[in-house]
Amino acid sequence: MGLLDHIQFQKQKAAAEPPQSIEIDAENRFLVTWSGVLSVIPALRLRDACPCATCIEEGTGRKILDPATIPADIHALEVRPVGSYAVQIAWSDGHSSGIYSWETLRRLSGVGDPPGG
């Protein structure tokens, strides 16, 4: 018997549907359109929800980032696609390691699952 005889794999969930568009307005809010539904996510909320290992303890999922340390005028300097499943945001506070999956953005948008999702 080899090593793989003892490992069980969980079925992976299908990747979340990407948004139709992501824009940033003059007030530094993220305007995310999901199937024709526009949602607005303030930059501060998005930065506070960063899912990276610097902001969230990997082993426990406990939040490490203190929201009080995020500048009130936080804004995105760059938004880059990551594969076909997420975006990575470079923030004005120097942080840029968070990868925001479509599922994370959808949750922060307050928009429910897409039909059939």
The CA–CA distances, whole Å, from 89 to 2, 22, 80 equal: 41, 12, 6
Contacts of 10 (CB under 8 A, 6+ apart): none
Question: Can you tell me the distance from the alpha carbon of 75 to that of 25, in angstroms, rounded to the nearest whole number?
Answer: 10
Tokens at residue 110, please? 């307050």
How sure is the predictor about 101, in pLDDT bands with cuts at 50, 70 and 90?
A: very high
Place of tokens 């949602």: 39
Average pLDDT, the chain: 88
DSSP string for 18-85: PPSEEEE-TTSEEEEEETTEEEEEEHHHHHHT--STTTB-TTT--B---GGGS-TT--EEEEEEETTT
CATH annotation of 17-109: 3.30.2020.30
72-91 residue pLDDT tens: 999 999 999 999 999 999 99
pLDDT at 3: 46
How sure is the predictor about 116, in pLDDT bands with cuts at 50, 70 and 90? low
pLDDT in tens, 48-64: 999 999 999 999 999 99
- pLDDT the model gives residue 110: 87
* pLDDT for res 1: 44
Q: Give the separation between CA 32 and CA 56, rounded to whole angstroms.
A: 24
| pLDDT for 105 beyond 90 | yes
Write down the domain spans for the chain: 17-109
Q: Is the pLDDT of residue 4 over 50?
A: no
Residue among 15, 16, 32, 36 nearest 24 (CA): 32
